[in-house]
Amino acid sequence: MRSSRKSVRTGRWLALLALPLALAFSAPGLAMTSDGEVAPDRVSSGAQNGVGLMRIVVADKSGIDQLNELGVDLAEYVKPVDNGIEVHAILSPEESQALRDMGFDVQDAISDQNDYAENMTERAATMRALTAAAASTDTLTMLRAEWFTSLENQLFLNIEVKSSAGTDSTTVLTASWDSGAGTEIGSGGTATMSRFTDAGQYMYHRFSNPVAISAAPAKATITSNKGGSVTVDVSKWLGSPRKVTGNHPYVSDFVDHYMDATEVTARISSLAAEFPKLTQLIDLPYKTNGYRRQAQAQFGTASASIVYVTSKAYGSEGGNDITMSLVNPGVANAPLTVGVSGRAVTVNLATNGSGAISSTAAQVVAAVNGNADAAKLLTASTYRGNVGAGVVAAAAVTRLTDNLKAPASVSRDPFQMKALRIGKQRDGSKVGVFLYCQEHAREWVTPLVCVETAERLLRNYAKDPNTRKLVDDLDIFILPTVNPDGSHYSMYDYNMQRRNMTNYCPATSADPANRNAWGVDLNRNFSIGSVYDGYNGGSTSCTSDTYAGPSKLSEPEARNEVWLVDTFPNIKFAMNNHSYGGYFMWPPGAYKTAGREVLPRVDQGTEAFFWTSSDYILSRVQEHRGTGIWPGRTGPVTDVLYSAAGNSADEHWYNRGIIGWDFEVGADVYNPTTKRFTAVGFQPSFAEGHEEAMEFANGNIAILDVARSYATDKLQPRSELKTVKQEPGATTFTFTTSEPANVYYTLDGSRPTFDSPKLALAGMREGNQTLTVKGNTTVNWFSIDIAGNVESNYKPDGNGKNYNKQTVAIQ
């Protein structure tokens, strides 16, 4: 059913679009301009006569699902706006218009946000009208209320609340806050909250963007037009910057330009040579396809008469030396023949009785492919499955080309991916941490983050005691570019390339105009929650920018990641560095659209560990220049971004229990004059890219701090039973712990073990589950932290009795 629906949508998109795009389809179709000629390939350009990074606003996440199914090249960026969700897409003007014709709200380029004020006014008017609606009283569940600082020390407020009536689209929540302890609610400001839905389901209410405020609030009151109200404390998000102590200066700032994969790999190789006692350079076992393509040439402009040819050899291995010509013999009734001399193919076209060329595209294709000598050199095809009934035109000698433009310093051979292992003791006895970057080629800042991290660890080791502890107590693996072939292609050929360069397309999609639409999205090629399992956010179309490949783990780049974590099972933590948007995320990362069936959520102890760690990690990011990652962009991928079927963080967590995060470096920049946030894009000016690399390298170092704390943690957790509510005949309670930990409990008086019920999460972003009993009940329980320390050294699988015990009484 899913495939049929996609085919219908794809067919509709093709019919409306009518040009050859990297918006790709499994079904064949024609790509024509209005005058019947083939449109040019999408080209990279800063001007809007080429490809632009455009804003699209959809009503909810089902709109994102539709764009994904159509194969639209979406950035990994989602921002709630007042009238829905803003996403960014790589589009040409023709593609933008085609989406508008289909009913999508394609707006301006992200560098121009003139319509923002108008949208805000319209949304405010709509919310005021909705507030007037009468309804029964609802219950409000507080999720988060925090203030934080970002660039230029500007203060912001973030609030998230769930309404029991939230499934009703007329439910409106309004937040008011004070201007500090002892001041009145409302003195700090008032703002209407936006209703957030995902896959058609209500999630909660929040601000579209964090609200700029002038003073740190102590309390906030949220009211509903349905009658509900709740007042809560507002806490500070992210800790204060660390104070650097000691007499030894910490050195940083080791990147001074954007680097391609060849440069990045040479850089870590030189570090391994310079620091042999602290490093090991690991050659990963699977070489990539390489920065190479078959050479091609296309003859003709009208689709029915187009013939294109593709070399059997890669362009760098002889394909670029092949030529082909279509010759008018100049006589009547000439037969169609094909001749080959060395690497030159000559097609003598057939003529009719009046001497006019009569060979059709289909006939030329059959003649070339049927000639044994020509077939050794190349393959001929009609245009995108066209029957090829049009008569071809004569064409001069044309040299086939792979169209690759990188300098000779970039090898065309399969690429040897390398990982840099850093640690004083690299024998598998230390907790391992895997830091990896640039799964997506166009994200140029991310390899700089990995390089900067490696440089800091090695060059500060001798003098900085904190760095020495990390290198001595951990086993660190840094893979600075997961997608080397795509990196080269993005740097030198098509800057918006997301995928690798492996072309799985059949002839119906493999013409030269589609050359920017080939490749596999490596972060959709993994085995958990894949599109092949029915999860959303990946594609089976070979020209989609989220193409998951012909099968799970089909790509050497993805298999190299899996090989690394399998070969070194001491790896317990991982960080996948992406861009852009300023997100900090963790599993689950995928769901099935029907019913929004999410991959199993982590248990409450692990979720608490993620949140506690995020406060420290993001505080370290903030140290560099004050960038505050929003609370609304912190959390599981499916909660704060969208579904990403077959991503690597899910692969490592669900298959191996590796605690993994995702950075989306490049947080939105706030302009205090215009009071607007502006997205930075994939490839900001290097001045901005440099700052992003510095601050998120801070984040990587912080993750190593977290991992070291885990590795050296011998402290047992403590837990308490906390009564939440008492009413006649029933008592509701939960458990609190001194640190992130799971709680196992029994209510029948039996001894708690690992087979006993485990305290769960109440719901998405809602905190711990509560339990209700209706009679006097003896509760037995123990807690265990993420590092495996059990409270009071209790032995759940033994015969010990030193578990916690408390009777919950009923009024």
Kindly report, residue by residue over 268-278, the tens digit of the pLDDT.
Answer: 999 999 999 99
pLDDT score of 115? 34
Work out the pLDDT band at 256, boundaries 50, 70, 90: confident
Question: Which residue blocks in 89-237 are alpha helix, DSSP H?
Answer: 93-101, 116-131
Nearest to 617 by CA among 661, 576, 666: 661
Residue 199, pLDDT > 90, answer no
Evaluate the CA torsion angle 542, 545, 551, 555 in order and state its sign.
positive
pLDDT score of 671? 85
- Nearest-angstrom CA–CA distance, 132 and 425: 67
Query: Looking up tokens 């502890």, which residue turns up?
Result: 469
Higher-scoring residue by pLDDT: 18, 410: 410
pLDDT digits 0-9 by tens, 296-321:
999 999 999 999 999 999 999 999 99
Question: Which residue blocks in 577-733 are alpha helix, DSSP H?
Answer: 604-625, 637-640, 648-656, 686-711
Reading the block at residue 497, the tokens are 């390339």
pLDDT digits 0-9 by tens, 471-489:
999 999 999 999 999 999 9
Residue 343 and residue 321 in contact, taking contact as beta carbons nearer than 8 Å: yes
- Nearest-angstrom CA–CA distance, 136 and 37: 61
pLDDT score of 41? 53
Residue 17, pLDDT > 80, answer no
- Nearest-angstrom CA–CA distance, 755 and 672: 54
Residue 701, pLDDT > 70, answer yes
pLDDT score of 490? 95
- Nearest-angstrom CA–CA distance, 269 and 279: 10
Work out the pLDDT band at 154, boundaries 50, 70, 90: confident
Q: What is the pTM of this model?
A: 0.82
Nearest to 210 by CA among 243, 181, 234, 230: 234
DSSP conformation class of 199: T
pLDDT score of 778? 97
Mean pLDDT of 719-730: 94
Work out the pLDDT band at 38, boundaries 50, 70, 90: low
pLDDT score of 92? 82
Query: Looking up tokens 């606003």, which residue turns up?
Result: 57
Residue 160 and residue 204 in contact, taking contact as beta carbons nearer than 8 Å: yes
Higher-scoring residue by pLDDT: 244, 734: 734
Three-point CA angle 186, 187, 191, nearest 5°: 45
Residue 40, pLDDT > 80, answer no
Could you give the angle at which helices 465-473 and 445-459 cross, rounded to 10 degrees? 100
- Nearest-angstrom CA–CA distance, 674 and 116: 11
pLDDT score of 765? 87
Reading the block at residue 54, the tokens are 């455009």
Residues 6+ apart with CB under 8 A from 614: 584, 634
- Nearest-angstrom CA–CA distance, 446 and 439: 9
For 2, the enclosing helix (H) or strand (E) is helix 2-17
Map 101-115 to HEC letters.
HCCCEEEEECCCCCC
Residue 44, pLDDT > 50, answer no
> What distances in angstroms separate CA 735 from CA 330, 547, 766, one per listed residue?
92, 44, 14
Lowest mean per-residue pLDDT among 32-46, 218-232, 305-319: 32-46
Residue 8, pLDDT > 70, answer no
> What distances in angstroms separate CA 18 from CA 299, 322, 446, one per listed residue?
20, 31, 36
Measured distance between the N- and C-terminal CA atoms of the chain, rounded to whole angstroms: 55
pLDDT score of 601? 94
> What distances in angstroms separate CA 163 from CA 10, 222, 226, 630, one per listed residue?
37, 10, 9, 22
Mean pLDDT of 781-808: 95
Residue 135, pLDDT > 70, answer no
Residue 580 and residue 443 in contact, taking contact as beta carbons nearer than 8 Å: yes
pLDDT digits 0-9 by tens, 566-622:
999 999 999 999 999 999 999 999 999 888 999 999 999 999 999 999 999 999 999
Question: Phi then psi for 793, rounded to 5 degrees?
Answer: 55, 30
Mean pLDDT of 4-29: 35
% of the chain with per-residue pLDDT over 70: 89
Residue 131, pLDDT > 50, answer no
Residue 344 and residue 400 in contact, taking contact as beta carbons nearer than 8 Å: no
pLDDT score of 215? 92
Residue 169 and residue 159 in contact, taking contact as beta carbons nearer than 8 Å: no
Evaluate the CA torsion angle 51, 637, 25, 502 in order and state its sign.
positive
Reading the block at residue 809, the tokens are 């009484």
Higher-scoring residue by pLDDT: 798, 208: 798
pLDDT score of 83? 84
- Nearest-angstrom CA–CA distance, 139 and 163: 6
249: left (phi over 0), alpha (psi -120 to 50) or beta: beta
DSSP secondary structure of 527-593: SSS-GGGT-SS-B--TTSTTB--SSTT-SHHHHHHHHHHHH-TTEEEEEEEEEEE-EEEES---EET
Reading the block at residue 804, the tokens are 């916690």
Q: Exposed, middle or buried, 1 (CB in 10 Å: 0-12/13-18/19+)?
A: exposed
DSSP secondary structure of 767-778: -B--EEESS-EE
Mean pLDDT of 140-156: 86
pLDDT score of 118? 43
pLDDT score of 193? 84
- Nearest-angstrom CA–CA distance, 616 and 409: 41
Mean pLDDT of 690-715: 96
pLDDT score of 136? 61
Residue 670, pLDDT > 50, answer yes
Residue 623, pLDDT > 80, answer yes
Three-point CA angle 4, 540, 104, nearest 5°: 70
Residue 529 and residue 538 in contact, taking contact as beta carbons nearer than 8 Å: no
pLDDT score of 18? 37
pLDDT score of 281? 98
pLDDT digits 0-9 by tens, 76-107:
888 888 888 989 988 888 888 899 999 999 98
Work out the pLDDT band at 240, boundaries 50, 70, 90: low
Mean pLDDT of 353-377: 97
Residue 122, pLDDT > 80, answer no
Beta strands in 122-266 (DSSP E): 140-149, 155-163, 173-177, 189-192, 194-198, 201-206, 211-213, 219-224, 229-233, 235-236
> What distances in angstroms separate CA 811 from CA 220, 573, 724, 747, 801, one per listed residue?
32, 47, 14, 18, 29
- Nearest-angstrom CA–CA distance, 211 and 194: 12
Q: Exposed, middle or buried, 560 (CB in 10 Å: 0-12/13-18/19+)?
A: buried
Mean pLDDT of 208-214: 86
% of the chain with per-residue pLDDT over 90: 71
pLDDT score of 73? 87
Residue 695 and residue 625 in contact, taking contact as beta carbons nearer than 8 Å: yes
Question: Which residue blocks in 115-233 are alpha helix, DSSP H?
Answer: 116-131
Residue 469, pLDDT > 70, answer yes
pLDDT, averaged across the chain: 88
